[in-house]
């Protein structure tokens, strides 16, 4: 069933095509694991909680196609009708994350192979190589049968392609992948000479004489950084190719149903390049899980939300999965603290999500994730989690008017590029096993603690509207993107570049002449050697601040070229060298931080940058209270989340949509409490800054 009026991408994307009339609330739903009486009980309890969307059929391939070529949609039809009768919309999954055992038996060659050429065993999930034409043909067949079968069913409001693509099958070294990689490399470089130049194969005499000699970077002594980086890109492209193939089938049968796939956006680098994939989806969706023992887990949650917002072009995105309580894959899986379920869900909403979806609705008794929490835990309805879920359902109904509003007043951008993260882990480095996002996280934490919202954007994003741009450890950057940072500064912006930025170009080749390579001219300084520190070592700066992990032998010109030395190293191998510099460039300022500062000292530097660039917080709140503003065409909403164990106050006015209470000037927040104010008139004073309207 195809439509004569094909929707354009612009009409497919965004709130107009959102699967629920209000904020989406629900989770992964696996009724195939349960008897029918339990399914009927689910309908009652979903009604009680206010669930309006479930993700169905993620692992149901074998239910739809119990044997090769024998299709049976009886169960699916029954479920779709039942959910529709109960007013619950369906985010229907293509079931390709769960390869039927009969397919593994018929085609063992579809299994991904590790770098030693060992195939995964059948079972688990995502047991397929993204390059396999055999798998592709079976996958597209079930997708075609499924889509043609459900086309026109009113319950089907969104498509969920596969599940966490790349989670388990992200990198494959099978013969098919090797052949595809050779083709990909040849298409990219055209000549073997160009390939040898790009990868620098003269080192260790690894020069190729033909593309036929190229392999995936599997088990050898140590790998070429260019080859490793290209293999990351290739692998992401192969998974994207699979996604697009499934999407094309769905678009043919159900052109008006929005299509998504669930990302795993966290700190990065990600298994696939989500930023470059995001436009391929109609609604950008994320799965996010916090780590219980991490005291800053709510800040890590905010970091991923701020990344998601950039991927949705500033508009609403969908939190597709998070946990109602403990996960089960960490060494120790801790439950959420009292009230944390609601704080976390609202934390995602504050940063632009128009949903609070969970993995999963009902806790499984059996199978791999039998101890993963759920909206309805093993304990059943009479439980803390289900009470919190019901409260959250009520909150989401009270917040319905927030749907479609966007995070506003964002004055700070943090540049983040997955390719830079891949480049950091591709090849040997001054510090091995570094985590690319740690520098970005450190700055983001400091901003979070000051109630300053940041957009975490790719380096090709438009920067002009931001008052402050941070370039944290952006190891790989193109000349064009480095130039854009310079243009931004010349036009009056303030930028902070931090250590290990601008070091390599797009093929992972070091930029010579002094670090930080691509940003050296802008900053007016040059480092000639890195001097990383052991875990225990600390180096003092002459302004009383302390460096950990990283210092540099940096030189600043003595000819008055506008470089101000803000602080020098007062110890370590780099004693006396500049540590932090500031340079006026055009109408703006370019700062360089060559050291990894202790958190409190980084906070002090951030304070200075915020004040110099005129960045204001969303509200005056004490440390530990999250404050983020969303705005619609007519209203402004201030999210306040007290993550501390102490009562707190926020300087703000408006009506708390969760309680109906009108606050005039001060909002009391009990320990762990949340409030969402409709600010009505209180904000329209012209102080909203240059962020998005």
Does 91 bind ligand GLA (CB under 6 A)? Our answer is no
Select 99 or 593, whichever has its Cβ closest to ligand GLA.
99
Q: At residue 391, what are phi and psi to the nearest 5 degrees?
A: -60, -45
User: What is the contact mask toward ligand GLA in residues 267 to 306, using x (rule: CB under 6 A)?
Assistant: --------------------x-------------------
DSSP letter string over 422-437? Answer: HHHHSS--SSSS--TT
From 232, 246, 300, 321, active-site residue: 321
Sign of CA dihedral 107, 112, 115, 121: negative
Sign of CA dihedral 15, 20, 23, 27: negative
Distance CA 564, CA 464 (A): 24
**Among residue numbers 322 through 341, which ones bind ligand GLA (CB under 6 A)?**
327
Does 164 bind ligand GLA (CB under 6 A)? Our answer is yes
Q: At residue 64, what are phi and psi to the nearest 5 degrees?
A: -75, -30
State whether residue 53 is helix, strand or coil.
strand
Select 163 or 445, whichever has its Cβ closest to ligand GLA.
163
Taking alpha carbons only, the member of 386, 382, 387, 297 closest to residue 333 is: 297
438 carries an active-site annotation: no
Does 545 bind ligand GLA (CB under 6 A)? Our answer is no
Least distance to ligand GLA from the beta carbon of 164, Å?
Answer: 5
Select 100 or 458, whichever has its Cβ closest to ligand GLA.
100
DSSP-assigned letter for residue 351: T
Taking alpha carbons only, the member of 33, 72, 85 closest to residue 56 is: 33
Select 19 or 459, whichever has its Cβ closest to ligand GLA.
19
Does 321 bind ligand GLA (CB under 6 A)? Our answer is yes
User: What is the contact mask toward ligand GLA in residues 610 to 649, using x (rule: CB under 6 A)?
Assistant: ----------------------------------------
From 164, 340, 449, 679, active-site residue: 164
Least distance to ligand GLA from the beta carbon of 242, Å?
Answer: 17
Least distance to ligand GLA from the beta carbon of 120, Å?
Answer: 17
Does 358 bind ligand GLA (CB under 6 A)? Our answer is no
Taking alpha carbons only, the member of 395, 313, 289 closest to residue 349 is: 395
Select 164 or 596, whichever has its Cβ closest to ligand GLA.
164
Least distance to ligand GLA from the beta carbon of 690, Å?
Answer: 36
Least distance to ligand GLA from the beta carbon of 348, Å?
Answer: 14
**Among residue numbers 361 through 380, which ones bind ligand GLA (CB under 6 A)?**
369, 372
Q: Per the structure block, which two tokens stand in for 127?
A: 């047991």
DSSP letter string over 93-152? Answer: EP-TTS--HHHHHH-GGGS-B-TTSPBPPSSSS--S-TT-HHHHHHHHHHHHHHHHHHTT
Least distance to ligand GLA from the beta carbon of 325, Å?
Answer: 11
Distance CA 172, CA 238 (A): 10
Select 319 or 504, whichever has its Cβ closest to ligand GLA.
319
**Among residue numbers 234 through 263, which ones bind ligand GLA (CB under 6 A)?**
262
Question: Are 110 and 136 a contacting pair, CB within 8 Å?
Answer: no
Select 367 or 668, whichever has its Cβ closest to ligand GLA.
367
369 carries an active-site annotation: no
Across the beta sheet with 538-540, the strand order is: 538-540, 546-548, 596-597
Does 32 bind ligand GLA (CB under 6 A)? Our answer is no
Least distance to ligand GLA from the beta carbon of 62, Å?
Answer: 16
Taking alpha carbons only, the member of 50, 60, 41, 45 closest to residue 20 is: 50
Q: At residue 634, what are phi and psi to the nearest 5 degrees?
A: -120, -15
| 90-117: b (≥16 Cβ within 10 Å) or e | bbbbbbbbbbbeebbeebeebbbbeeee
Does 163 bind ligand GLA (CB under 6 A)? Our answer is yes
Q: Per the structure block, which two tokens stand in for 345?
A: 């869900």
Select 327 or 350, whichever has its Cβ closest to ligand GLA.
327
Least distance to ligand GLA from the beta carbon of 495, Å?
Answer: 36
Question: Total number of residues binding ligand GLA (CB under 6 A)?
Answer: 9
- Residues noted as catalytic: 164, 321
* Residues near ligand GLA (CB under 6 A): 163-164, 262, 287, 321, 327, 359, 369, 372
């Amino acid at each position: 069933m195809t439509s004569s009026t094909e929707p354009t991408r612009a009409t497919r994307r965004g709130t107009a095509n959102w699967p629920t009339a209000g904020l989406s609330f629900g989770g992964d739903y696996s009724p195939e694991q349960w008897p029918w009486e339990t399914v009927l009980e689910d309908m009652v309890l979903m009604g009680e909680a206010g669930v309006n969307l479930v993700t169905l059929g993620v692992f149901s391939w074998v239910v739809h196609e119990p044997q090769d070529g024998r299709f049976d949609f009886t169960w699916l039809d029954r479920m779709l009708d039942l959910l529709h009768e109960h007013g619950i919309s369906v985010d229907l999954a293509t079931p390709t994350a769960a390869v039927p055992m009969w397919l593994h038996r018929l085609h063992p060659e579809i299994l991904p192979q590790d770098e030693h050429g060992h195939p995964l065993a059948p079972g688990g999930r995502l047991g397929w190589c993204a390059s396999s034409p055999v798998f592709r043909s079976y996958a597209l067949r079930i997708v075609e049968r499924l889509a043609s079968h459900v086309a026109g069913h009113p319950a089907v409001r969104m498509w969920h392609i596969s599940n966490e693509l790349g989670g388990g099958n992200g990198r494959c070294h099978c013969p098919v992948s090797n052949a595809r990689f050779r083709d990909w490399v040849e298409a990219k470089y055209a000549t073997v000479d160009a390939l040898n130049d790009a990868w620098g194969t003269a080192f260790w005499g690894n020069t190729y004489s033909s593309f036929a000699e190229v392999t995936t970077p599997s088990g050898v002594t140590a790998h070429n950084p260019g080859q490793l980086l290209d293999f990351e890109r290739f692998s992401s492209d192969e998974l994207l190719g699979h996604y697009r193939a499934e999407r094309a089938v769905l678009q043919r049968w159900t052109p008006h149903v929005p299509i998504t796939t669930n990302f795993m956006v966290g700190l990065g680098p990600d298994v696939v390049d989500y930023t470059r994939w995001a436009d391929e989806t109609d609604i950008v969706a994320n799965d996010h899980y916090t780590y219980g023992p991490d005291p800053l887990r709510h800040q890590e949650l905010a970091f991923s939300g701020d990344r998601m917002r950039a991927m949705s072009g500033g508009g609403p995105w969908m939190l597709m999965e998070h946990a109602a309580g403990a996960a089960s894959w960490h060494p120790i899986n801790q439950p959420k603290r009292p009230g944390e379920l609601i704080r976390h869900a609202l934390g995602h909403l504050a940063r632009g999500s128009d949903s609070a979806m969970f993995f999963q609705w009902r806790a499984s008794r059996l199978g791999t994730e039998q101890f993963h929490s759920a909206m309805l835990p093993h304990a059943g309805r009479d439980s803390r989690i289900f009470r919190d879920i019901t409260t959250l359902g009520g909150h989401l109904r009270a917040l319905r008017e927030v749907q479609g509003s966007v995070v506003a007043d964002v004055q700070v951008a943090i540049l983040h590029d997955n390719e830079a993260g891949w480049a950091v882990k591709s090849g040997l480095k001054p510090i091995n096993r570094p985590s690319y996002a740690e520098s970005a996280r450190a700055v983001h934490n400091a901003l979070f603690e000051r109630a300053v919202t940041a957009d975490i954007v790719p380096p090709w994003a438009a920067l002009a509207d931001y008052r402050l741009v941070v370039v944290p450890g952006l190891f790989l950057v193109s000349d064009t993107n480095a130039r854009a940072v310079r243009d931004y500064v010349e036009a009056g912006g303030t930028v902070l570049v931090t250590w290990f930025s601008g070091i390599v170009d797009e093929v992972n080749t070091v930029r010579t002449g002094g670090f930080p390579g691509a940003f050296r001219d802008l900053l007016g300084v040059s480092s000639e050697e890195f001097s990383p520190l052991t875990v225990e070592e600390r180096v003092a700066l002459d302004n009383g601040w302390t460096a950990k992990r990283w210092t540099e032998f940096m030189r600043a010109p003595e000819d008055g070229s506008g470089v101000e030395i803000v602080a020098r190293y007062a110890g370590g191998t780099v004693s006396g060298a500049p540590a932090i510099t500031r340079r006026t460039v055009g109408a703006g300022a370019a700062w360089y931080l060559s050291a990894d500062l202790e958190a409190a000292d980084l906070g002090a530097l951030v304070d200075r940058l915020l004040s110099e660039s005129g960045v204001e917080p969303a509200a005056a709140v004490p440390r530990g209270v999250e404050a983020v503003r969303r705005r619609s065409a007519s209203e402004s909403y201030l999210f306040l989340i007290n993550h501390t164990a102490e009562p707190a106050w926020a300087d703000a006015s408006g009506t708390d949509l969760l309680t109906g209470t009108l606050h005039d000037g001060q909002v009391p927040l009990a320990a762990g409490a949340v409030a969402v104010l409709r600010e009505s008139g209180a904000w329209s004073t012209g102080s909203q800054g240059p962020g998005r309207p």
